[in-house]
Amino acid sequence: MRIDILQGDITTRSVDAIVNAANSALLGGGGVDGAIHRAAGPDLLEACRELRRTQLPAGLPVGAAVATPGFRLPAQWVIHTVGPNRHAGQTDPALLASCFRESLVVAGGLGARSVAFPAISAGIYGWDARQVAKVAFDAVESFASLPAAGGAAAGALEFVEFVLFSEDTTAVFRSVFGD
């Protein structure tokens, strides 16, 4: 599986799926979440409301992932995941790893060959970008090494990119990836 790191706007990426660092309400917000909702258009909000009405009445749990269409985005799908909030006491790296792992499982289930991730929880949720990068790379490597029989979803995924908004976070991800 190929992995790339780049600075840019995740909403412009021509990949099969982009990952949204969502809040549990799935109704939009700030940062990456707000940017994705604005770029995808109002149909994304309606799809998220439908998920809340039908499958997720209590919201999306931390570490879980769910997909919607991408609507006006170049990506066919948006995979929503809720990262742990350090400021709220959610400091277990396993919760953060679950965001990446579950997003990859959802992407594989959709038949996605390419997926773009932001730095989940490294913004307003207070996680150190270096720790996020290490957890993210470990999750991707673990997913890529799943045996074909037990991890058929991993077989379709060929390309993962980390699309990071700031120059500083991009530099941190590149330094960790190079370690």
Give the start-to-end residue ranges of the domains of the chain. Answer: 2-178
pLDDT tens per residue across span 12-28: 999 999 999 999 999 99
Q: For residue 126, what are the CA distances in angstroms to 89, 114, 122, 141, 158?
A: 10, 27, 6, 24, 30
Q: Is 33 a catalytic residue?
A: yes
Q: Which two tokens stand for residue 110?
A: 């959709």
116 within 8 A of 13, measured Cβ to Cβ: yes
The arithmetic mean of pLDDT across residues 93-118, rounded, is: 96
- The three-state DSSP-derived secondary structure of the chain is CEEEEEECCHHHCCCCEEEEEECCCCCCCCHHHHHHHHHHCHHHHHHHHHHHHHCCCCCCCECCEEEEECCCCCCCEEEEEECCCHHHCCCCHHHHHHHHHHHHHHHHHHCCCEEEECCCCCCCCCCCHHHHHHHHHHHHHHHHCCCCCCCHHHHHCCEEEEEECCHHHHHHHHHHHHC
Asked whether the predicted pLDDT for residue 159 surpasses 60, the reply is yes
pLDDT of residue 148: 53
pLDDT of residue 56: 97
Q: Which comes out higher in pLDDT, residue 116 or 1?
A: 116
pLDDT of residue 153: 54
The model's pTM: 0.94
21 within 8 A of 121, measured Cβ to Cβ: yes
CATH code of domain 2-178: 3.40.220.10
pLDDT of residue 147: 65
Exactly one of 33, 128, 138, 168 is catalytic; which is it? 33
Looking at residue 41, its amino acid is: G
Q: Whose structure tokens read 């992407």?
A: 107
pLDDT of residue 150: 45
pLDDT of residue 67: 98
118 within 8 A of 158, measured Cβ to Cβ: no
Between CA 44 and CA 115 the distance in angstroms is: 18
Nearest to 96 by CA among 68, 117, 69: 117
β-pair partners for 117: 162
